[in-house]
Amino acid sequence: MYDVPDLTGTFAVVTGANSGTGREAARRLAAAGAHVVMAVRTVAKGEAARAEILAEHPGTHLEVRRVDLADLASVQEFADGIVATGTPLDLLVNNAGVMAPPTRMTTADGFELQFGSNFLGPFALTVRLLPALLAADAPRVATMSSGTANMGRIDFADLQSERRYGPMRAYAQSKLADLMLARQLADLAVERGWALTSIAAHPGYTRTNLQTAGASLGRDKPKRSLLTSLDFLPTQGVGQGTEPLLFAAADPRAEQGAYYGPSKRFGLVGPTAPARITKRALDPASNARLWAEAERLTDVRLPVHVA
């Protein structure tokens, strides 16, 4: 079990913190001393998760705040609330996501649900939180990608999957976009001399409700996505599967722009190690183009005083 270093005095935000890897990350970051904002879409579920964590770790500092990454107005309201506290934000963990809805669905702003929730929402949140992040001494942004990013393609002519929608195709594109987001943010930090570190991670094949929640949208009965219904693939529990994200979020050895994931059996299970970055996320021009497109779509840009 990975031992998270002491985080006493650290202020952190974890999205999707009511279940799965987000809940586990919030639990272990708080247990290491961080004050954790559990950013969740459904407050009641967040409060239930908070109560469970407090029962296990009395005295930890956790608060629940609502954010819906599929609604840019909600993202702005949440980010404005964090910035308004005046507290430097040491850590942002972009964890929340949706996987493989069977039919094309859209966000509150009309984006394809996976591209909007998994990439555009976290992009807007990250950029809006930059004033709080850059007020910290050594801020860090850890973004959850996926092994499916290796199969992803950024279709700039059809980012919203309007011409052709495939559940896993759209998911892979969104998670590749997350990896490219982490890489571009790292490049921007280096270019502008920010103290910020941007790192990506993936959980391998970790058993959470991610595999059923998205695939069950619009259906009468729970269903798993095609990829995750392959029962011969090795899997791991949420404790092990969250460790690459925790390493990216808190470990002093994690490097700028790096990518971490499980190290055993096709990168699906095992201890954390550097993960191979697909060449599609190693192209600075493509990363910059995607960032610019995200700015255009969300109308969220670098704050003037940090741009």
Q: What global pTM score does this model have?
A: 0.93
Give the pLDDT mean for 171-180.
98
132 neighbors 86 (Cβ within 8 angstroms): no
Work out the mean pLDDT of the chain and round it to a whole number: 93
Task: Give the model's pLDDT for residue 223.
Answer: 55
pLDDT over 90 (residue 115) = yes
Give the pLDDT mean for 285-300.
98
Task: Give the model's pLDDT for residue 220.
Answer: 57
Show which residues are catalytic: 171
pLDDT interval class at 265 (50, 70, 90): confident
What contacts 250, CB < 8 A, 6 or more positions away?
4, 5, 7, 29, 32, 91, 140
Task: Give the model's pLDDT for residue 226.
Answer: 55
Strand order in 91-94's β-sheet? Answer: 61-66, 35-40, 11-15, 91-94, 140-144, 197-201, 259-264, 269-274
What contacts 19, CB < 8 A, 6 or more positions away?
45, 49, 208, 209
Task: Give the model's pLDDT for residue 229.
Answer: 54
Give the pLDDT mean for 59-85.
98
Q: 3-class DSSP state for residue 40?
A: strand
Task: Give the model's pLDDT for residue 304.
Answer: 75
pLDDT over 60 (residue 6) = yes
pLDDT interval class at 230 (50, 70, 90): low
pLDDT over 80 (residue 193) = yes
Residue (of 160, 157, 140, 182) closest to 278 by Cα position: 182
